[in-house]
Amino acid sequence: MTDPIRHLAEASRLDRFYVDGAWREGAGAERVAVVSPASETVIAEIALGTEADVAHAVAAARRAFPAWSRTAPAERAALLDRVHGLVIARLEAFAQTLSAEMGAPITYAREAQVPLAAAHIRVARDLMATFPFLSRRGTTAVAREAIGVCGLITPWNWPLYQITAKVAPALAAGCTVVLKPSELSPLSALLFAEVMDEAGCPAGVFNLVNGTGPVVGEGLSTHPEVDMISITGSTRAGVLVAQAAAPTVKRVAQELGGKSPNVVLPDADLARCIPLGIAAAMRNLGQSCSAPTRMLVPRARLAEVEALARTTVAGFVVGDPRREATTHGAIANRAQYDRIQRMIAIGIEEGAKLVAGGTGRPDGLTTGLYARPTVFSEVRRDMAIAQEEIFGPVLAILPYDGVEEAVEIANDTIYGLGAHVQGTDMAQVRAVAGRIRAGQVHLNAPAWDPEAPFGGYKRSGNGREYGREGLEEYLETKAILGYYD
């Protein structure tokens, strides 16, 4: 597959949805352009689903649920194993598509976006060998059963990664699904639907309907035959989905926004942790809900931190995501690019100290949605750039005068998705981590763990993804009393 987007067009995937085991034309005629953020040109047009398309997909998933939910875990594991193998085999096609549709550097797409997505499939597959779907407590049995038909709503910033983080555990649990990917980066989802078909997924177990949130997203949220909604997106979108789902008392799992702190303790090795912290904040151009975009540092060491920040950002290569040397590509869409520019301007107006970057494109780039990696220092906790999720390559450095104040600043947010703590004294590092109100805390920049549960406190959502806890979100608990041998 030399040109995956051309392949999708020639195979008539762009104007169809994958429903009940086949590629089918939708009920409506509306289309939307998919725009390359690197060139700001249209690279494809996809069909947008209607309420009727949602109804057809949900009906297919409902028909498939009784048989699929009764399959043995080993059978579900076998399907996931085939899916995993096909994703790995098509790594380059997925990477090229992700780079084109959302501006990820091709190296980052190959080394992170696709392999990490595959890891979610592998973890769900492996859990089938050990997960206790039935356990005993004396003469009571506790059964964990598939919740039913699940509507999965995924975002534009990690398109394939978030699809596999939902689809894999849902299918492993015995659920059937209807996927609504973001209409801003939908092409990798169409390739994934091809993988599901080639892997031999039974008809109706996996369905895909492209479309907008107000139509397809709301259609899934309100549909009485959908038992659960899992959404990754903005807090605003999560609230709307929860409100729409409330009348039918669905389970709603939400992985939403964040403004994650990175607490640099007084004894931290700045030469190591500052570059790592900046890289983490600006990975995927800061378009990650858990990006540690608030760096809390001892006031006495602020000048050292600023110098390291300037040097680190100067080493970034912003530009054409197709080039191997590019470290940071284009912002994924125009609306997000405009928001980032607006927030950088607000930071300057608020009086924060501009250490690196600023508004506009980097020098030498005249077209494309390219933003300058930006670092502000001397940021106060009440500033907009310290409180609002920017979702771009913008880091706010906030000085503190003591560890107690650092913990207070870290928790001074409506969000609670992720956090980082850096220091040499591990007892203190662990103690501080224990006081931060967030769903996942990283100590001294550890390796990513696909089995570590991920989710938020406060307005960052509810429920967990990844690993065993991610699987459990898709299960109901049934107690069976008098379960004698």
Give 148-162 pLDDT, tens digit per residue.
999 999 999 999 999
Q: Within its chain, how far is the Cα of 142 from the centroid?
A: 32
At residue 257, does pLDDT exceed 90? yes
CB 453 within 8 A of CB 467: yes
CATH of domain 4-256+460-480: 3.40.605.10
Q: What ranges in 351-424 are assigned the alpha helix state H?
A: 384-387, 403-410
d(CA 97, CA 370): 19
At residue 33, does pLDDT exceed 90? yes
Which tens digit of pLDDT belongs to each residue from 172-208?
Answer: 999 999 999 999 999 999 999 999 999 999 999 999 9
Confidence bin at 2 (pLDDT 50/70/90): confident
Indicate the pairing of strand 353-356 with strand 374-377: antiparallel
What pLDDT score does 485 carry? 87
CB 209 within 8 A of CB 216: yes
CB 152 within 8 A of CB 124: no
CATH 3.40.50.2300: does it fit domain 261-449? no
How is residue 232 annotated by DSSP? E
Q: What ranges in 20-113 are assigned the alpha helix state H?
A: 51-69, 73-89, 91-102, 106-108
427: CB partners within 8 A, 6+ apart: none
68: CB partners within 8 A, 6+ apart: 146, 171, 174, 175, 176, 202, 204, 205
Confidence bin at 1 (pLDDT 50/70/90): low
Paired tokens of 295: 């760096």
Residue 111 a catalytic site member: no
| 261-449 matches 4-256+460-480 in CATH topology | no
Strand, coil or helix: 244:
helix
Among the options 201, 218, 289, 389, which is catalytic? 289
Strand, coil or helix: 394:
strand
**Cα–Cα distances in Å, from 337 out to 12, 110, 212, 330, 390?**
31, 24, 20, 9, 10
**Cα–Cα distances in Å, from 120 out to 16, 106, 174?**
27, 21, 16
Q: Look at phi and psi of residue 166 and say left if phi exceeds 0, alpha if psi is from -120 to 50, else beta.
A: alpha
Paired tokens of 101: 């549709």
d(CA 458, CA 350): 27
What pLDDT score does 281 carry? 98
Mean pLDDT taken over the chain: 97
Question: What's the whole-number mean pLDDT along residues 438-459?
Answer: 97
Is the CA virtual torsion 115, 121, 127, 129 positive or negative?
Answer: negative
Helices H / strands E in the chain, number of each = 17, 20
Which tens digit of pLDDT belongs to each residue from 318-340?
Answer: 999 999 999 999 999 999 999 99
At residue 353, does pLDDT exceed 70? yes
Residue 388 a catalytic site member: no
Assessment of whether the complete model's pTM goes beyond 0.95:
yes
Question: What's the whole-number mean pLDDT along residues 362-373?
Answer: 97
**Any idea which residue has 């005249």 for tokens?**
366
Q: What is the dihedral of CA 446, 449, 452, 454, to 10 degrees?
A: 90
What pLDDT score does 232 carry? 97
Among the options 183, 194, 218, 255, which is catalytic? 255
Question: Mind giving me the DSSP string for 361-380?
Answer: PPTT--SSS----EEEES--
Domain ranges of the chain: 4-256+460-480, 261-449
Question: What's the whole-number mean pLDDT along residues 286-303?
Answer: 98
287: CB partners within 8 A, 6+ apart: 157, 331, 332, 336, 391, 392
